[in-house]
Every structure is written in structure tokens, then in C-alpha cells.
Amino acid sequence: MNLLHDKQVLVTGVVNTDSIAYAVAQRTLHMGGKAILTSFDRDWERTAEAARSLPGDVEVLELDVTNESHLKRLEGELRQRWGHVDAVVHAVAFAPRAALAGNFLDTDSAAAQAAFATSSYSYASLARLLDQLAPITGGSIVGLDFDARGAWPVYNWMGVAKAALESVSRYVARDLGPRSIRSNLVAAGPLHTRAAGGIPAFERLTDAWEAQSPLYWDPTDPGPVADAACFLLSDLARGVTGEIMHVDGGYHAMAGPLDPDRFDRSHVESR
């Protein structure tokens, strides 16, 4: 499959082989594209180990998305290695535990601002990078989202940061559309990643999906989300921008819990 034939894709947020970003990088290579990963300080060795498990010689470059000097240096490194970048995957999110746990109203402004800077504003930073590096034919930036239309029983200020991310993506779509650069998000269902491990009572989300998703949702399989991201990175999505694609088993479209016996368990367990 050559959906991303010769596309040069920058993938942020790969921490280990369980991450959604890793699955996107893996699919990108499988679909004929090229990938460079980014990491920084505390995650460097884990990202490098994940890169070694990918086919080919996949490089890892240093990037703290909240550091302008890192972004400027990365631009130069990508020009040197590739000349241009066709697409960027924004898979970076962080909130201090104080912004995720406890009483929403008790969170101090510093914790909330850290969540916004890393999880929302950084999308605009990567969009500017792509604007500098995309070829004249345009490009694509795709971010990972968690549906922010409502308040979740957990998630707190990260939910607010995701709402901001959704808005940022629309404004990026507006401003970079004339350059034929597209901006889209994939709103995934809950998946067991390292980031999920930092969310208190994460199982409340997976339990909700088991009760309400019309399609069987496997919280250990990032493949469906990665495939959707690759579609949005590809030329097949050349007319799509400002979109939020839900890859959540249909949970977002249901108004309430469904029949608990709706799945043929033998079929589900054979997957």
C-alpha cells in the first residue's frame, strides 16, 4: 500500500511502542512514507528504542515544543536532511497531575497554563514549522484529540486544553488553507498509552466505552486511530481541513448506554 508514497512526515510524541504516535509512524512507513521522530530529555532513550524497532533507519531529533529555540533548530535540521516536510503529526500533550486530579476549580493557573502551552499552543507552533517547510503543493498537519464537546467525569484541565486544541486547529486551517496546508484532528476513544496512565480513574472512560460504543472498542489497539491519521496525512484527504474525525467506535454519536449484550463475544475475542 503506497498511500503515503514518498511523503516525508515528522512525528512527535513517540514515547514507546504502545503510543498512538508510534502506530502512526509505523503505518506511515508501511504506506511508503518516510518518518523522523522527535523527543526530548527524559524520554529520549525510550523514543530511540522505539525508533530502532521501526523498519529502516528512523532518526530521532530533539524537540521541546514549548521551546522556540528547539523549534528553530529543528527547522534547520529538517532542511538539511530532507529539504522539505510534507506532513506533521502533533501527538504531544501534557498536564501536571494537579490539572488532572482532584477538584477542577482548585487547580492553580500555572498548572492550567502548562497544559495549554504543551497540548494546545504547540499545535500552532508545529503548524508554523510546516508552513516554513512544506513544498509549494502544500502539506498536512494532523493532531490527536479527545472529544472536547462535553465535560468528562475525569480529565479536568486537559479537557479544556483539548477544547482549545480543536479551536486552534480550525484557525490553522483558516490561515494555512491558501498555502494548500490542511489541518485536521483525530478524536480517539480511550487507549492504554503512557499518557492515559497519568489520568486518575482512567478506567471510568474505558467502562463508558464498553457501555456505549456501538462498535467494539479495543483500548489496547491504536491501529484504527493511526490508519485514520494516515488518511488525513495523505492526498486522499486533499479536500478535508478544519475537520475532527472521530475514531471512537461511534461512542460520540450515541445518546446513552446500549444493550450490554450487543456484542457477539466469540467474534470479539477472535480478533
d(CA 251, CA 217): 9
Return the residue matching grid coordinates 493511526: 226
- Classify the phi-psi angles of 103: left when phi > 0, otherwise alpha if psi is within -120 to 50, otherwise beta: beta
200 contacts 100 by C-beta, under 8 angstroms: yes
Angstrom distance (rounded) from CA 50 to CA 188:
22
Known active-site residue 123: no
Q: Buried (b) or exposed (e) across 104-141, using 16+ Cβ within 10 A?
A: eeebeeebbebbbebbbbbbbbbbebbeebbeeebbbb
Q: Active-site residue among 155, 171, 216, 251?
A: 155
Amino acid at 39: S
Catalytic residue among 22, 34, 162, 251: 162
Please say whether the beta carbons of 65 and 94 come within 8 A.
Answer: no
Q: Measured between alpha carbons, how far is 222 from 217 in angstroms, rounded to an integer?
A: 10
34 is catalytic: no
Q: What is the DSSP letter of 190?
A: P
What residues act catalytically? 155, 162
